[in-house]
Amino acid sequence: MSFDLSLVKRRGDTLIAAHVEGGEGVTVLFGPSGAGKTSVLDMVAGLLRPDEGHVRVDGVTLFDRAARIDLPPERRRAGYVFQDGRLFPHLSVGANLRYGERRAPPEARWIGFEAVVDLLGIGHLLARRPRTLSGGEARRVAIGRALLAAPRFLLLDEPTSFLDRARREEVARAIEDVRDRLKLPILLVTHDQGEAERLGTRIVRM
């Protein structure tokens, strides 16, 4: 599976352009703040409409301005982990995770609830509400929810930010497992060069 992206978006006086072609693995968008990296993730997810270009994942066209194709976000099957987590505030951590799990057909699931909880070290958080979580805790829960939804591809916006060193390592290993064993396409935004070099199959500088 692979990404084929050619995107142009004008936002005020800023022009965001990205061209990405690649096979299996992790494609890293690397660059300073304000370069438009998160906007590219939003365009791939269907949350922001490009002015020009196309989005194809594994040969499936999700957006093509010339062909007038624009699949809604729910049909793109993207697992998007936002920087701010965006957990449901009225649900407990466990219920947020189960929400992601319910979105996945049983035959499509490739990781179980307990495995995600153990991997991210969030078992002690299951009964708590998002408003009581730290930024790092909320990010780990958001990553778990995305994984449990069994997406066709992952969009990770600074996936290890706000985590302590040990948890950063656990999440990095999880991303490596998805990359190497499951062959799930991953588009990852980071400003950390070491993380980009470790996880990235290819690095796109913006």
Task: Output the six-digit token pair for 124.
Answer: 């002690």
DSSP SS3 for 189: strand
The yes-or-no verdict on residue 174 having pLDDT over 80 is: no
- Stretch 156-166: mean pLDDT, rounded? 83
- Stretch 150-175: mean pLDDT, rounded? 83
Q: What pLDDT, in 10s, does the model give residues 98-123?
A: 999 998 888 888 889 998 898 788 99
Q: Name the pTM for this structure.
A: 0.85
Boundaries of every domain in the chain: 3-205
Using only C-alpha atoms, the chain has a radius of gyration, in whole angstroms, of 16
Task: Output the six-digit token pair for 180.
Answer: 């190497």
**Candidate CATH numbers 3.40.50.300, 1.10.1060.10, 3.30.1340.10, 1.20.1270.360; the one for domain 3-205:** 3.40.50.300
Q: Sorting pLDDT into bands at 50, 70 and 90, what band is 160? A: confident
Look at residue 8 in the predicted model and tell me its pLDDT: 95
Look at residue 1 in the predicted model and tell me its pLDDT: 63
